Amino acid sequence: MKFGTKAIHAGQHPDPTTGAVMTPIYQTSTYWQKSPGDHKGFEYSRGTNPTRKALEDCLAALENARFGLAFSSGMAAIDAVLKLLLPGDEVITGNDLYGGSYRIFTKIFANYGIKFHFIDLSDPLVIREYLNARTKLIWIETPTNPTMKIIDIKAVSVIAREAGVLLAVDNTFASPYLQNPMDLGADIVMHSATKYLGGHSDVVMGALMLNDEELYKRLWFIYNSCGATPGPQDSFLVLRGIKTLHLRMKAHCENGRLVAEYLRAHPLVDKVYWPGFEDHPNHAVAVKQMRDFGGMISFSLIDADLERTFKLASSFKVFSLAESLGGVESLINHPASMTHASIPLELRLAAGVTDNLLRLSVGIEDIDDLLEDLQQAIGG
């Protein structure tokens, strides 16, 4: 099936009891068994639930994977992957990373003897300098949050495979519509399903997709044992959101391109970070591994201090000042004080997350209204 058809049908079948076309919300915690261990595939909803199972099968299909696991948040999904590791293991990851990922790496798992190397992954060959017998995981996101660095997934996967190291890719910014890391050699694909997959800013959820059955069993054991699994209502909402993912992403991309071009031409705007520009670092890699360039854009203001940046961020009428991204509505975010506040100042600055940097999640509103809102807010 093509992507749009998978988004609507994958993992979903008419309800066997009623024939309902939409997957029902199975609001139940436990299931009848004919005799001990003799059941219909469901025992207790922490482990699996029919609504969640339909979602997981759909998620797997979207990433061209065999297995999917849905979690109660994106951070819960990351937490499960890191629980594959043991004290003394090492992880190689990027220096331009979502603040929540940095926080769980350094404030939680570093306490258990796991070492993290935060490096610039723009040139994958740099990874070889940090590989050793203790390296067990390479964790990347591309495009990165918030400076939209592009990491060559295929090149990293070759290095990971040669070293016998797992490669996990946070694909949240791109969505499965724009990019499929499994096809490029990733072992695990992670999503904050809160974002583009759900698409309507009404649910918090995470997901992992993978192909290796033994790895799936290990992650399912963690998933079931630790219990960070979502309820059926949230699973239903994400399953419903996915049905329009391909349509929404087309609109996000179209609006994103026009907003990026507008910002780049604005006299008061300094830098614009959007992988669709030909001079964006690793643009050629983006062209190779992405189908379009998305609706995530960051930009900085010329000679703006923190006060002026805050004032501008608060002056929009269509864009909402809020954390998160990927919903149908447009959002503006100040990474340094919001999504990346947990990262120390010197590391933020080294990664380009300056006080005058703003991040946009361009929604699917009428483009004329979005451009007019940018004009009235930025001035000039």
Active site (catalytic) residues = 46, 98, 170, 195
CA distances from 43 to 35, 47, 229, 271 (A): 12, 8, 15, 54
Buried b (16+ CB within 10 A) or exposed e, 261-291: ebbeebeebebbbbbbbeebebbebbeebbe
Compute CA 223 distance to the chain's CA centroid, rounded to the nearest angstrom. Answer: 19
Question: 């390296």: which residue's tokens?
Answer: 135
3-state secondary structure of 360: strand
CA angle 358, 360, 363 (to 5 degrees): 165
Q: Do 66 and 60 contact (CB within 8 A), yes or no?
A: yes
3-state secondary structure of 251: helix
In the chain, the DSSP E strands lie at 67-71, 90-94, 115-119, 135-141, 166-170, 188-192, 206-210, 269-273, 296-301, 320-321, 331-333, 357-361
Compute CA 269 distance to the chain's CA centroid, rounded to the nearest angstrom. Answer: 27
Is the N-terminal amide bond of 146 cis, ω within 30° of 0?
A: yes
d(CA 67, CA 302): 47
CA distances from 357 to 29, 120, 300, 352 (A): 45, 19, 4, 8
